[in-house]
Chain A
Amino acid sequence: MLDAGVSSVHFDGFLTSGSAYLAPAFRFNSPSFTLAAQGSYIMFESGNTVLQGTGAGAWLTPAVGPLRGEIAALGGVSRYADAPTAGYALARARTHLLGRTVGAWIGGSYGRAYAAAVSYRVGELSAGAWAARRRLGAAVAVTWSSAADSAYLDLTGTVRWTPWVIQVDALLGVRTWSQGGGEGTYGQVDARIPIDRRVALLVSAGRTPSDYVRGMLASKYVTVGMRLIPFPGPVRPAAALTDVLRREARPPDVSPAATAPLLAIATGDGEMRTLRIRAPGAQTIEIAADFTDWQPLPLLRTGGDTWEITLRVPAGTYRLDVRADGGPWLAPRGTRLERDEFGGEVGILVVW
Chain B
Amino acid sequence: MILIPGHIIAKFTFPGVVVHEFAHMLFCKVRKVAIIDVCYFRDGDPVGYVQHEGSTSFFTTFLISMGPFFVNSLLCLLICMPAYIPLKFFEIENIYFYFLLWLGISIGMHAIPSNQDATNVYNEAKIHARKGNLLAIISFPIVGLIYIFNLLRVLWADVFYGVGVGLGIPSLIFG
Report if A and B associate in a common complex.
Answer: no
List B residues at the A interface (Cβ < 8 Å). Answer: none
List A residues at the B interface (Cβ < 8 Å). Answer: none
